Amino acid sequence: MNSAVGGIAFLADFAIGGSIAISYGFTSAFWGIIIAALVIFLTGIPIAYYSAKYSVDMDLLTRGAGFGYLGSTITSLVYASFTFIYMSTEGAIMAQAFEMYFHMPLPIGYLVSSLVVIPLVLFGMTALSKLQVWTQPVWLLLMIAPIAAIIMKDPGTVSAWTHFAGKSPSGAAFNPLFVALSSGVVLSLISQIGEQADYLRFMPTLTKQNRRKWLWAVMIAGPGWVVIGAFKELSGSFMVSFIAPSVGFDVADQPIQMFVKAFGTFIPSAFVVLTIATFFVVLSQIKINVTNAYSGSLSWSNFFSRVLHFHPGRVVWLFLQVAIAIVLMEAGLFNFLNTVLGFYSNIAVAWIGAIVADLVINKTLLKISPSYIEFKRAHLYNFNPVGFGSMIIASILSIMAYFGLFGATLQAFSPFLSLVVAFILAPVIALATKGKYYIARQNPFQGALTELAASSNEVTEERVEESNSTGEQSPTHDHSHLHGLVGPYAELIPAPNNNGEYECVTCEFDYEQEDITYCPFHKGMICSLCCSLEKECGDMCKK
Ligand SMILES: [Zn+2]
Ligand SMILES: [Zn+2]
Q: Which residues of 129-166 are buried (b: 16+ CB within 10 A; e: fewer)?
A: beebeeebeebeebbeebbebbbeeeeebeeebeebbb
Burial 199-221 (b: 16+ CB within 10 A, else e): bbbebeeeeeeeeeebeebbebb
Ligand nearest to the CA of 523: 2
Q: Is the pLDDT of residue 415 over 80?
A: yes
Interval between CA 382 and ligand 1 midpoint (Å)? 20
Residues with CB under 5 A from ligand 2 (ion): 378, 537, 541
pLDDT tens for 144-179 read 888 999 999 999 999 999 999 999 999 999 999 999
pLDDT above 90 for 261: yes
CA 441–ligand 2 middle distance (angstroms): 10
Residue type, 348: A
pLDDT at 482 over 60: no
> In this predicted structure, what is the pLDDT of residue 449?
58
Neighbours of ion ligand 1 (CB under 5 A): 504, 506-507, 527, 530
Q: How many CB atoms lie within 10 A of CB 372?
A: 15
Please state the rounded mean pLDDT for residues 359-382.
94
CB 381 within 8 A of CB 536: no
Q: Is it the case that residue 242 has pLDDT exceeding 90?
A: yes
289: buried, middle or exposed (CB in 10 Å: 19+, 13-18, 0-12)? Answer: buried
Helices 255-264 + 12-24 axis angle, to 10:
90
Inform me whether the pLDDT recorded for 234 exceeds 80: yes
Q: Is the pLDDT of residue 3 over 80?
A: no
What's the pLDDT at 308?
A: 85
Q: How confident is the model at residue 6 (pLDDT cuts 50, 70, 90)?
A: low
Confidence of residue 286 (pLDDT cuts 50, 70, 90): confident
Q: What is the average pLDDT across 409-413?
A: 97
Question: Is the predicted pLDDT of residue 459 greater than 50, yes or no?
Answer: no
Rounded-to-integer distance, Cα 254 and Cα 34, Å: 22
Could you tell me the distance, in angstroms and rounded to a whole number, from the CA of residue 486 to the centre of ligand 2?
17
Candidates 344, 352, 316, 348; CA nearest to 85 is 344
Q: Is the pLDDT of residue 480 over 70?
A: no
The pLDDT of residue 125: 75
Write down the pLDDT at residue 525: 94
User: What ligand is nearest to the CA atom of residue 530?
Assistant: 1
pLDDT tier at 8, thresholds 50, 70, 90? low
Burial of 285 (0-12, 13-18, 19+ CB in 10 A): buried
Q: Give the span between the Cα atoms of 146 and 264, in whole angstroms.
A: 9
Q: In this predicted model, what pLDDT tens digit does every residue of 501-517 receive, in sequence order?
A: 999 999 999 998 888 99
| Residue 36, pLDDT above cutoff 50 | yes
DSSP state of 205: P
Q: Provide the mean pLDDT of the chain.
A: 89
What number is the average pLDDT over the span 33-60?
A: 96
pLDDT value of position 489: 85
pLDDT mean over 233-250: 96
The arithmetic mean of pLDDT across residues 23-39, rounded, is 98
Q: What is the mean pLDDT of residues 415-440?
A: 97
Determine the number of helices (DSSP H) and then strands (DSSP E) in the chain: 24, 4
Is residue 476 over pLDDT 50?
A: no
DSSP helix/strand/coil, 510: strand
Q: What pLDDT shows up at residue 310?
A: 80
Cα 537 to ligand 2 centroid, rounded to whole Å: 6
For residues 132-141, give the mean pLDDT. 78
